[in-house]
Each structure stands twice: as structure tokens, then as C-alpha cells.
Amino acid sequence: MAKREFNVSKKEKFAEWYNTIIYAADLVDNRYNVQGFVVHKPWAMYSFRALYALFEKELEANGHEPVLFPAVIPEDNFRKEAQHVEGFAPQVFWITQGGAEQLTHPLALRPTSETAFYQMYSKWVQSQSDLPLKFYQSCTVFRYEHETLPFMRGREFMWIEAHDAFASEKEAKDQVKQDIEIGQRVLNEVLGLPLICTERPAWDTFPGAEHTYAYDVLMPDGRVNQVASTHLLGQKFAKTFDIEFKDDKGEAKHAWQTCFGPGIWRIMAALVSVHGDDRGLIFPFAVAPAQVVIVTIPAGDAKEDKKILDYAAQLRDRLALMNIRAVIDNTAKTPGFKFNYWEMRGVPIRMEVGKKEVEKNAVTIARRDTKARAQVPLDALTTYLVETAGAILLELKARAKEDFNKRLKDAKTKEEVKKILEEDKGIARTTFCTTGEEGHACADELAAFAGGAKVRGTLVDKEEKPEKDAKCIVCGKPAKAIVYVAKQY
Ligand SMILES: [Zn+2]
């Protein structure tokens, strides 16, 4: 349940920090009696709605339309693509019974929906004019996980999945670029999260995909959190599911496909962890469950207090007209107590309203991120809030980037990789033989040497080539790639 005060060192005790703040701020309740399934409380839901809206708006501007597919996938569909089923089989929940009857055809609870969508795409695509298909759904998916942690790994979690089909390989490749732009724009520019976007090595592609590109946010404990991914599926699924069309010349061709998955749950974990501080959460303005809290400062006189409350209510209505979500705290607690409470819950802007403010037709405003306070006349409020919302984002972004840059380091040996990951809690950038299948053995050796270190791949948005005489830090053969190595969630 919600607590009033919080003070845990995020840097020194991250696991404790995370495990305390998500409950103290009343984001989730994990006392639902099945492991890995949590109840999402209003404070999380307002923020989740805003997060979904950000991505939905971008996807729709990019030509996607919303759909909602069934949560169940027939076993036959699911088993069609061999690599896909092999990759997901251990994590699938199966429905085998309906009422008292055993189902002759078990149903998978969707762990992801390729095999649901593409079965229908084969019916929807007949001629080239039916393409492209660009649909997305905002939904939860289900995976039988053993270790669970709210927003990081769950048996039911929130995401968006976009599934596209095109007439040519070029269009599919262009879509991958657009997905990456959308991901970076929302994650970095709107949410202020620094990240690396890499093409995953051949041995770490999504089951059934040709190429996988993924976005990693570095968490305070030095592990990376994959918050989204996009896959170039090529024609594998199209061949399996007969997504076929006749081209201009009447020739039968298979569609080219991509899919994109912003991990809404994991983005919440990143927001909480990257922007929060020892006093609690700090939400960027755009996705804060409440963007402003109006705290009343009692005057100790019933008549005055009534005036203060009316003033606060008018202020809230005025903010609502500006599309700003505001809450009023008029409880009998002391102002200091209320300040701590809303700071802990991460509200970016606090407005204090007391006798002084009512008299002056003003509000006293405090920022959650810098603690800066200022008195602002009501007629200057609109401009002040627009500027401050932007300034808060820039501040959070700059802090996060500074921390990220400090922990992203070059390594020339395996030992240096190990040191960067373990002592600096960072990401190592190093030279590697290849991210093709032949590099898999080196990646395994590195993982064994450096406590589970994972080769995350090569940078997508910037081409990086090793110097001519550079060697793989594991096998010593000439290095073809510059890779990023990190521990992962
Ligand atoms: Zn090697």
C-alpha cells in the first residue's frame, strides 16, 4: 500500500529500490494469487494509457491501423513455423479443456501473435493491390516465465505488436528503418531514455526472423533492458502461411514481412528506473499519471480554508482546459508530509496554494526534478507550464544521458569487458570476429568468462567498422565487427 515517505539509494541498492518504489508509489499490487500476474493500479494505468497513446499515434501516422485479434491461437497455426514454435514452446500456456470436455485441438494463449495474424493475412492478400497490410494491436500477451518481476518479466504483460506485409523486400526493409525511427523518437525524444539500438547477432534473432533489431536501455544495476524490437521476417512466414499475391504480370509471389513490438511494460520499468531518484519516481511530463499536484496549505481558519480549496478547484479546472491532468491534495496532513508523498509518486510539478497565493492571484510552483521553486501569477501560468514541461524533459534526458555515457566504455580485452560490466555497471564496446553464426562460440566463451555477458550486436543508426588490424577479443581472429556487450534482464 501507498506509503508517505521513501528514501533508498537507487545506485547502491537498486533491487531494493525498485522492489520498494513500485509498491510504495502504488503502481501495482502483486498479491494476486498467481505468480507473475499483477494487478495494475490507477497510478500505473494513467501512465500506461499515455505510453500506449504515444506509440499508437506514431504508428497510425506511419499508416498502421488498429485491430484486435483473439487471445487464443489454434495449436495447428502455432506449430506451422518450425523455428518459431521451437523458440516459444517452453513459454506457452495451453488451454486444453473447455467446461468438462477435453479440447481435441488445444489452444495457445498468445505469447506473440505472428501465427494468429498471418493465418488471416493469407485470406486478406490476393493481389498486389491488397498490399501493403499494416496493422497493430495494443494488448497483453502470456508467457510461462519462472522468474517474474513487475514491468520486467511477467506471465501476462502489456505491449503493442505491429505486423506488416509488403509486395517487395525493399518496402519491408524501409519499414524496419521507419520502426527504428519511431522507437527512437518516442523512447529518446519524448521519454528521455538513452539507449542503444543494435542488430542482434545471428544466434540471437527472433524465432522465425531473418534479422532482429532491438533497443536496450541501461538500467542502474548495469543490466540492459530490451524495451522494443523490430524484425525483418523476410518470406519465411509468408511461405509457411501462404501469404501469396499475383503481381502485375500475373506471377504468384510471396509477401515480405516485418513486425515491431514496443514493450510497453518494459518501457515503464525503464522510466521508473532511469528517471527515478533516491526520493522516489520522477515521471516525464508527457506520461505522468498526474502532471500537476495542487497541495493546499491550510490557513488554520475555516473560512480562509474554504477560499483556498475553491481556489485550488478553479486552478484544477483551468489546467483541465489545458489538457493537463491535475489532482488536489486537501488532506489534513502537514504540507511537508504531502510534499514528500507526491515527490515519491513522481508528479513532475507541484503547485502550492495557501492564503498568500489566493491574495496575490498566483501559485507557488516546485519542480520534482530540480526542486526549484517559483511564484507564478495566474495570468502567466500557461506559458510557464509549457516551458517547464519542456525544461523537465531536457533535465531528465541530460541526467540520463550523462549517466549512460559514463557507463558506456571501450574494452580491448575480455578482462576489460568483465571489469566494465561488473565494476562500472556498464556496457562494453569491443572488437569481435563476427556476428554471423560463426561468432556464436566466441559469444558463449565470453558469456562464461564474464558472468553471463551477452553480445547485443552491432549499432544500427551508425556504421562502425573495426580498424584494419583489430582482433576478436575472444579468438584473436581478425575482427569484422564492433559489438556492444552487456548483462541483460
Ligand atoms: Zn571470435
Phi first, then psi, for residue 90 (nearest 5°) are: -65, -15
**Closest Cα partner for 151 from 230, 205, 219?**
219
**Closest Cα partner for 353 from 340, 339, 341?**
339
Alpha carbon of 427 to ligand 1 centroid (Å): 19
Which pLDDT value is given to residue 248?
85
Alpha carbon of 481 to ligand 1 centroid (Å): 10
Which pLDDT value is given to residue 82?
80
Alpha carbon of 240 to ligand 1 centroid (Å): 34
**Closest Cα partner for 416 from 405, 426, 406?**
426
Which pLDDT value is given to residue 4?
55
> What distance in Å separates the CA atoms of residue 471 and residue 464, rounded to the nearest whole number?
15
Q: Find out whether 42 and 258 touch, Cβ atoms under 8 Å.
A: no
SS3 96: strand
Alpha carbon of 476 to ligand 1 centroid (Å): 6
Alpha carbon of 464 to ligand 1 centroid (Å): 17
Which pLDDT value is given to residue 183?
97
Alpha carbon of 450 to ligand 1 centroid (Å): 15
Alpha carbon of 474 to ligand 1 centroid (Å): 5
Alpha carbon of 225 to ligand 1 centroid (Å): 25
Alpha carbon of 433 to ligand 1 centroid (Å): 4
Alpha carbon of 486 to ligand 1 centroid (Å): 17
> What distance in Å separates the CA atoms of residue 180 and residue 214, rounded to the nearest whole number?
9
Alpha carbon of 469 to ligand 1 centroid (Å): 14
Alpha carbon of 155 to ligand 1 centroid (Å): 36
Nearest 5 degrees, angle CA 357-CA 380-CA 290?
A: 75
Alpha carbon of 210 to ligand 1 centroid (Å): 22
Count how many residues are written for the chain. 489
Which pLDDT value is given to residue 5?
65
Per-residue pLDDT of the chain (489 residues; tens, 9 = 90+): 445 568 899 999 999 999 999 999 999 999 999 999 999 999 999 999 999 999 999 999 999 999 999 999 999 998 888 888 888 889 999 999 999 999 999 999 999 999 999 999 999 999 999 999 999 999 999 999 999 999 999 999 999 999 999 999 999 999 999 999 999 999 999 999 999 999 999 999 998 899 999 999 999 999 999 999 999 999 999 999 999 999 888 899 999 999 999 999 999 999 999 999 999 999 999 999 999 999 999 998 999 999 999 999 999 999 999 999 999 999 999 999 999 999 999 999 999 999 999 999 999 999 999 999 999 999 999 999 999 999 999 999 999 999 999 999 999 999 999 999 999 999 999 999 999 999 999 999 999 999 999 999 999 989 999 999 999 999 999 999 999 999 999
378 CB contacts (<8 Å, ≥6 apart)? 315, 318, 361, 362, 363
Task: Give whole-number Cα distances, 163 to 52, 82, 198, 302, in Å.
Answer: 17, 19, 20, 60
Alpha carbon of 445 to ligand 1 centroid (Å): 9
Alpha carbon of 429 to ligand 1 centroid (Å): 14
Alpha carbon of 438 to ligand 1 centroid (Å): 8
Phi first, then psi, for residue 32 (nearest 5°) are: -65, 140
Alpha carbon of 443 to ligand 1 centroid (Å): 8
Alpha carbon of 409 to ligand 1 centroid (Å): 20
317 CB contacts (<8 Å, ≥6 apart)? none
Alpha carbon of 286 to ligand 1 centroid (Å): 44
Alpha carbon of 238 to ligand 1 centroid (Å): 34
Alpha carbon of 224 to ligand 1 centroid (Å): 23
pTM, entire model:
0.96
> What distance in Å separates the CA atoms of residue 382 and residue 395, rounded to the nearest whole number?
20
Alpha carbon of 434 to ligand 1 centroid (Å): 7
Which pLDDT value is given to residue 85?
85
